[in-house]
Amino acid sequence: MEERNAFYFKGFTCIDIEDSDLSGELIKTLSILNTANLREHEDFNTSYQDTYDLNKDSDLNTILVKFLFDQGIPAKLKKLTGRDYVLGDLVLRKSRQRKSYMPWHRDTYLDKTGNLVGRVPPLVKVIFYPKLEDVTYHELSVLDGSSKRVFKHYILDKLQRYLFKETKFFQSNNTFVVFDSSIIHSAIPSDIKSEGSFRLIYNFCDRSQVDTFSSGNHINMIYQEYERGHS
């Protein structure tokens, strides 16, 4: 219960990646893709400037879903949150942007008129930032506890980044970063010395929200097949 309580109040945690044949093969595949020209790769599309996403119909998505069950993530999330979270969609993304494609923000938030925007309950994101180069780069920052600290005034809420503790996450082949997507967080732009970096983003939602992921239908079908096999 201590881990669940900490996640509830802080809004984030980490889950260790266990060594397995599949985790090793995934690192090898990502290392090969890291040197490829993704602009011309048939399995990738441009999502933002200098940012490339794996196509939803790519065969690699099956391996990425299998990786979740290989690491026991669905069961660990239920234990961590106490909720029936399932995979809504996923994206394997490589970014070479020198400016953040997603600077400080919440995924579920109050807009300038006080209206609630985003999914309720918020998604839980599980992200793998593989280390594929000799240098270890900073990839993500979150503001501790901000998922439970929401100011109704839009500007005051934005000012939290200057007033509260920032936790930084770096590339690692041994860790998933897990966070409540209503936390204030920022994707860190690529270092000028880097050729860009991969992030494998899993979006978990309440089972009742699965139908809101139109782009993830194919991926969710794969997930359901593996889920039935592990029930």
Query: Dihedral angle at the C-alpha atoms of 82, 70, 185, 111, nearest 10 degrees?
Result: -60
Q: DSSP states of 165-226 as a string?
A: -EEEEE--SSEEEEEETTS-EEEPPPPTTS--EEEEEEEEEEGGGGGG-GGGHHHHHHHHHH
For the cut 90, the answer to whether the pLDDT of residue 173 exceeds it is yes
Question: In this predicted structure, what is the pLDDT of residue 11?
Answer: 97
Taking residues 75-103, what's their average pLDDT?
90
Domains defined along the chain, listed by start: 2-229 (2.60.120.620)
**Could you give the strand order of the β-sheet that contains 85-95, starting from the edge strand earlier in sequence?**
12-16, 175-180, 124-128, 197-206, 85-95, 51-54, 44-48
Percentage of the chain lying above the pLDDT 70 cut: 97
- Of residues 216 and 99, more confidence is placed in 99
pTM for the model: 0.95
- pLDDT tens digit sequence for 16-39: 999 999 999 999 999 999 999 999
- Quote the pLDDT of residue 76: 97
- Tokens 């997930």, located at residue: 223
What value does the mean pLDDT of the chain take? 93
Mean pLDDT within 93-102: 82
